[in-house]
Amino acid sequence: AEKAAGLQAKKLKQYAAFSNKSPFPDFAHPTPEECKLARKILAGLHGDRERPKEVVAPADRAGCGDSRSVLDALVRTILSQNTSDKNSTRAKLSMDREYGGSDKWDAIVAGGQPRLQKTIQSGGLSQSKSKVIIDILNQAKEKYGEYSLDHLFGASDEDAMREMLGFQGVGPKTASCVLLFCLRRESFAVDTHVHRITGLLGWRPKDCNREEAHAHLDARVPDEDKYALHILIINHGKKCDECKAGGKNLGKCELRKAFRGGKVKGEAGEEVKTEE
């Protein structure tokens, strides 16, 4: 418990230090023009992305922050941590079958952590994820008298991020996804694909971690490009043979040709840090 409290304090301290600025003030990339160019190239390859007029929680997949309920968005994003879309969806659909829905909070809490762990085991890291979810539900109920975090719709970006980061097991990537997709704010979430490819593009220092990359990129990517670039880079990271983890530069990828930043981070043999 003491170690967890220390990690939470460190997480919040780091966010407070760089919530509105880059930890690398002398690193001048990406520029707004570079972001526009990357979006144009990726839109040509995969089709552009615009924020939908309203948020719709998908019934057939976990998604990543796609819900009108902040608590549901947070749980869905936790299910998506460190696993494939296929596995997180299997975990979400298993919750639907077990509890009558992945947002049946009373039933989930009443069933306890071991039952939830067994239910979501297909999604990976079920022991830690089930504990995180149960703890968040209990904290929300204790603090607000109901299973809801919808008060965050009225909070500032910083206050919403701070509250979500205050939960054990919720890091900048997870909180940023909820901010971007559910709360419909301009935030640049950094997952494994975004971290790898922004390293390729020369948009961040090569040796910075994911939390530092989030702070740097969130400060530098123009608000009007954050939603589209986040989705497009992830899509590209899954589909492009040259930009996948372990991908080899064959000189064919339009994005890699436009930004000759060097070797893709996350190639075979590199240790990949667990993301929250």
Active site residues: 173
DSSP state of 264: P
Rounded-to-integer distance, Cα 181 and Cα 191, Å: 14
Measured on CA atoms in the order 89, 163, 7, 181, is the torsion positive or negative?
Answer: positive
SS3 147: coil
Rounded-to-integer distance, Cα 253 and Cα 78, Å: 32
**CA-closest candidate to residue 52, choices 237, 238, 231:** 231
Q: How far apart are the first and last CA of the chain?
A: 18
Max Cα separation, the chain? 57
Rounded-to-integer distance, Cα 231 and Cα 143, Å: 34
Segment holding 71, helix H or strand E: helix 70-79
Amino acid residing at 135? D
Assess contact for 144 and 116: CB atoms under 8 A: no
